[in-house]
Amino acid sequence: MKLKIKSIILNILFFSVIFFVITTFQQRNLLSNDQPAPYFNLETLQTGERVSIKSLQNQQTVIYFFAPWCTVCKLSMPNLDKLAKNGSINAIAIAADFESKQQVEAFVDELSLSMPVLLADSHTASNYKISAFPTYYVISEDLKIIAKSMGYSTELGLRARSF
């Protein structure tokens, strides 16, 4: 019995280390923590109004970069939207690789997203060093990057990175 428990613990430890190494490797080119979040001033999909990074000041925010063709984004975004709806976190999504506004609208409608969705310009993805989707940054109240990640995340994972 003790041997079986020890084996389970070693397996969990092994897979945790592998996960950490892979995650660190994937994120190696993202922006560093504690640096100011790059400026943006982007149009919202829903209203056409413009939102700048400055409007996020005084509230910790998850900035979630996605592409409407991304299957992982389709699976992950409802988790973020649910947390944003219930007030657990402040979140905005930025469409960073799309063919048309209509493509993004169809994606947002299909998922029934309620969080603000911004349309990236040609510099935004580059400024945030986006190389894969989804990629997200957690921005502090003073607009500094405090966490980052790539790939699928559960509600629990998003909540954990936000606090």
User: Crossing angle of helices 71-85/155-162, nearest 10°?
Assistant: 60
- What does the block give as tokens for 28? 């190696």
Among 7-11, 24-28, 29-33, 99-103, whose mean pLDDT is lowest?
24-28
pTM (2 decimals)? 0.84
Residues 26 and 44 in one domain: no
Asked whether the predicted pLDDT for residue 148 surpasses 70, the reply is yes
Considering its fold, how many domains does the chain have in total? 2
Distance CA 119, CA 100 (A): 10
Residues 13 and 40 in one domain: no
- N residues, the chain: 163
User: In angstroms, what is the C-alpha Rg of the chain?
Assistant: 17
Peptide bond into 116 cis (omega under 30): no
Residues 118 and 142 in one domain: yes
Residues 101 and 24 in one domain: no
Residues 76 and 14 in one domain: no
Q: What pLDDT is attached to residue 28? A: 74
Q: How far is CA 97 from CA 63, 127, 132, in A?
A: 15, 14, 10
Q: What is the pLDDT of residues 107-147, one digit of tens each?
A: 999 999 999 999 999 899 999 999 999 999 999 999 999 99
Residues 17 and 81 in one domain: no
Q: What is the pLDDT of residues 44-102, one digit of tens each?
A: 999 999 999 999 999 999 999 999 999 999 999 999 999 999 888 899 999 999 999 99
Residues 80 and 156 in one domain: yes
Residues 3 and 72 in one domain: no
Which pLDDT band holds residue 23 (cuts at 50, 70, 90)?
A: low
Residues 26 and 37 in one domain: no
The vertex-13 CA angle with 28 and 131, nearest 5°, equals: 20
The answer for residues whose C-beta is within 8 angstroms of residue 27's C-beta and 6 or more apart is 148, 149, 150
Which stretches of 87-146 are DSSP H helices? 101-111, 124-127
Residues 62 and 5 in one domain: no
Residues 37 and 21 in one domain: no
Q: Which domain holds residue 18?
A: 1-30
- What does the block give as tokens for 71? 């299957």
CATH code, domain carrying 81: 3.40.30.10
Residues 145 and 99 in one domain: yes
User: Contact 61/139 with Cβ under 8 angstroms?
Assistant: yes
